[in-house]
Amino acid sequence: MILKQSTVTFGVLAAAFAISALYQLYRAALMEVPEYDAFTPATGAAYLGFIGISALVLTDRRWAWWVVSALVLALLALGVLWYYPVVATAREMGFVDWLEGSLYMGLLFVAGFLCTLKLLGTRLLPEKG
């Protein structure tokens, strides 16, 4: 069975956004910091938009890989430069918060790696021997 790079990349990103959305719903139920914990219609639309943009890789067109790469890079920068310094310090980070942040950022890094491989024309194949 051979997995297509586009399918794996989309699956990784869909998993990242699903984990993040479920976590945001969890935070909204707690509502400890209303400024950051609300799950609004705009929040839901953003997650749907991210999944929609991620689905562009399924077309396997070069421009789509560039668009998704830009999204991943922007989300990584947002996480590192805004979320952790601002939001994470506004509330106490428990195990669930740490787990979600680690999984989400980790999956974004994996997706970014897959996008980079695709844009460089590199494939990972098992060695024959």
Q: Is the pLDDT of residue 1 over 80?
A: no
**pTM of structure:** 0.91
Which amino acid makes up residue 44? G
Q: What percent of the chain has pLDDT over 90?
A: 74
pLDDT value for 3 = 84
Instruction: Output the pLDDT for position 129.
Output: 62
55 versus 38: the higher-pLDDT residue is 55
Write out pLDDT tens, residues 116-125: 999 999 877 7
Which alpha helices (H) appear in the chain, and where do they start and end?
5-30, 34-37, 41-54, 62-78, 88-90, 95-120
pLDDT at 45 over 90: yes
Question: If phi over 0 gives left and psi between -120 and 50 gives alpha, with beta otherwise, what is residue 90?
Answer: alpha
Residue 60 CA to residue 40 CA, distance in Å, equals: 32
- Cβ–Cβ < 8 Å for 54, 71: yes
Model pLDDT for residues 93-115, shown as the tens digit of each residue: 889 999 999 999 999 999 999 99
Q: How high is the pLDDT of residue 58?
A: 97
Tracing tokens 């979320």 back to the chain, one arrives at 83
Q: How far apart are CA 75 and CA 49, in angstroms?
A: 13
pLDDT at 22: 96
Average pLDDT over residues 46-51: 97
Among the listed residues 95, 96, 97, 72, the one whose alpha carbon sits nearest the alpha carbon of residue 87: 97
Average pLDDT, the chain: 92
CA dihedral defined by 24, 47, 118, 70, rounded to 10 degrees? -100
Banded pLDDT at 66 (limits 50, 70, 90): very high
